[in-house]
């Protein structure tokens, strides 16, 4: 009986992302309900993943020592194994504060790149700003897991914000 109980608990764990405690708030601009992971550390960057009924926004603040980002700036995301990587463009403002966004549409189906972020380990990020200035960093194993968990958590909870 004990074995069955322990097995049930153990097997049920992977079905839920660890610590899916999201901040529930109202958007300060649109006043719409939104959810957010709050900022968490990824080496020389912090990341907050926010979702409302329309978008899922990855908001990085990169410690880039005065390097700037513009609309043409990109981030290259490398996944474990070396076979998968993709490049995303900055959807935020032109700034020299290290702010960088990429955004996915929130909808009934999950975009494949977003799904990859929730299912595959990210090994490194390479931000390419104005004048091709690069800021690269590798993620520690616990940060790889945290990023996957937070992304999975947001994907799951963001569906509840979709209009019926």
Partner 1 sequence: MQQKILSNLLLFLLVPVLLIAQSTPPSAEVIMKEAYQKADKEHKNVFVIFHASWCGWCHRMDSSMNDASCKQYFDNNYVIRHMTVDESKDKKNLENPGANEFRKQYGGDGLGIPYWLVFDPKGKILADSRFRTDGNVNSTPGDNSGCPATEKEVAYFIQVLKQTSRLSPDEEAAVTKRFRQNEN
Cα 86 to chain centroid distance, Å, stands at: 14
The distance of closest approach from Cβ of residue 83 to partner 1 in the complex, given in angstroms and rounded to an integer, is 25
Residue 69 is given by DSSP the state B
Cβ partners under 8 Å of residue 157, min gap 6: 20, 22, 35, 51
Burial of 108: CB neighbours in 10 Å, binned 0-12, 13-18, 19+: exposed
At closest approach, how far in Å is the CB of 82 from partner 1? 27
Binders of partner 1 in range 52-81 (CB under 8 A): 57, 59, 61, 71-72
Backbone angles phi, psi at 126, to 5 degrees: -130, 110
Shortest distance in whole angstroms from residue 27 CB to partner 1: 7
The whole-angstrom separation of Cα 140 and Cα 97 is 24
**Residue 5 or 28 with smaller CB distance to partner 1:** 28
- When the beta carbons of 60 and 125 are compared against partner 1, the nearer one is 60
Binding characters for partner 1, 86-125, by CB under 8 A (x = yes)? ---x-xxx-x-x-x-x-x----------------------
Answer for the pair 65, 164: CB distance below 8 angstroms, yes or no. Answer: no
Q: Of 61 and 124, which CB lies nearer to partner 1 in the complex structure?
A: 61
By beta-carbon proximity to partner 1, the closer residue of 88 and 123 is 88
- Angle (CA) 61-66-69 rounded to 5° is 60
Among 22, 50, 122, 158, binds partner 1 (CB under 8 A): 50
Smallest distance, partner 1 to C-beta of residue 66, A: 14
Helical segments of 53-162, H only? 112-119, 141-158
* Site residues (vs partner 1, CB under 8 A): 27-31, 50, 57, 59, 61, 71-72, 89, 91-93, 95, 97, 99, 101, 103
């Amino acid at each position: 009986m004990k074995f069955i109980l322990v097995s049930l608990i153990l097997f049920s764990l992977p079905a839920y992302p660890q610590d899916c405690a999201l901040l529930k708030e109202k958007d300060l601009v649109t006043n719409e309900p939104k959810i957010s992971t709050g900022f968490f550390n990824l080496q020389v960057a912090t990341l907050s993943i926010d979702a409302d009924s329309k978008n899922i926004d990855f908001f990085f603040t990169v410690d880039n020592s005065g390097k700037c980002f513009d609309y043409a700036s990109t981030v290259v995301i490398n996944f474990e194994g070396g076979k998968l990587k993709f490049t995303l463009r900055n959807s935020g403002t032109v700034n020299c504060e290290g702010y960088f966004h990429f955004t996915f549409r929130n909808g009934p189906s999950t975009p494949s790149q977003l799904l990859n972020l929730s299912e595959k380990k990210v090994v490194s990020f390479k931000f390419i700003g104005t004048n091709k200035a690069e800021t690269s960093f590798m993620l520690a194993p616990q940060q790889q897991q945290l990023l996957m968990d937070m992304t999975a958590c947001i994907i799951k909870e963001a569906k509840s914000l979709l209009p019926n």
